[in-house]
Amino acid sequence: MDLLNLFTGAMTSQSTVNTLSEKSGASNAQIRKLLLLALPLIIKAMTKNASSQNGASSLLSALTQHKSTASLDAQVKEADEEDGAKIIGHILGGNSQSVMNSLASQSGMNSSQVSSVLANIAPALLSGVSAAKDTAVTQQQSGINLSDGFDLSDLMGMFGAASAKPQAAASDSSASGMSLLSMLTGFKF
């Protein structure tokens, strides 16, 4: 299983969809459709952002601030929507409004509902990527061979599920911007 499937599966669980529906006022069907449209865009935008030194530094900083180990559903229920909106704004940059409008049109939601859903999932997404990064660094420091790329097939632990297996590469224990980019570009889409 790859990162996109992992996030999509976790975020479209019935309990998480119910929580997002209650918070945004959108139907469960609309929430699911939005998540299937939005998650690939968000993950690709994060990868693109990490390709610049400033973007990688910004993402590394955000990852150090988002390290929740609570279940995904708990993270969504307790999400700080203001913080999530800032995260989405940083990830999507100048394209934020056009992306929100497009997602609203495609999902049958209004842009306020789209904004609410994305703001509520953003901190959990960062916590998941942070957990993946930390796992990669720990495995690197343990001397585990990580040369086969970052295939998140068993990294379900980032959402409180099963345990992780050896994966991904990080160039050093400080997880520099280049190693973060390497990790993100190693994710299978």
pLDDT tens for each residue of 60-84: 778 778 878 788 889 999 999 999 9
Structure tokens given for 106: 């495609």
Q: d(Cα 61, Cα 182) in Å, to the nearest integer?
A: 17
| pLDDT value, residue 140 | 57
Report the mean per-residue pLDDT for the chain.
Answer: 75
Q: Which of 25-34, 65-74, 108-117, 137-146 has the lowest mean pLDDT?
A: 137-146
Computed from CA positions of residues 42, 127, 3, 13, in that sequence, does the dihedral angle turn out positive or negative?
A: negative
Split at pLDDT 50, 70, 90, the class of 43 is confident
Residue ranges of E strands in the chain: none
Highest mean pLDDT among 20-24, 51-55, 56-60, 133-137: 20-24
Answer with the residue of higher pLDDT: 124 or 141.
Answer: 124
Structure tokens given for 83: 């913080």
DSSP state of 159: G
| pLDDT value, residue 129 | 79
Angle between helices 111-141 and 53-65 (to 10 degrees): 90
Split at pLDDT 50, 70, 90, the class of 108 is very high
Q: Is 28 helix (H, G, I), strand (E, B) or coil?
A: helix
Q: d(Cα 90, Cα 99) in Å, to the nearest integer?
A: 13
DSSP state of 51: T
CB proximity list for 96: less than 8 A, separation 6 or greater: 88, 89
For residue 175, pLDDT over 90 is answered with no
Domain locations along the chain: 3-186
| pLDDT value, residue 141 | 59
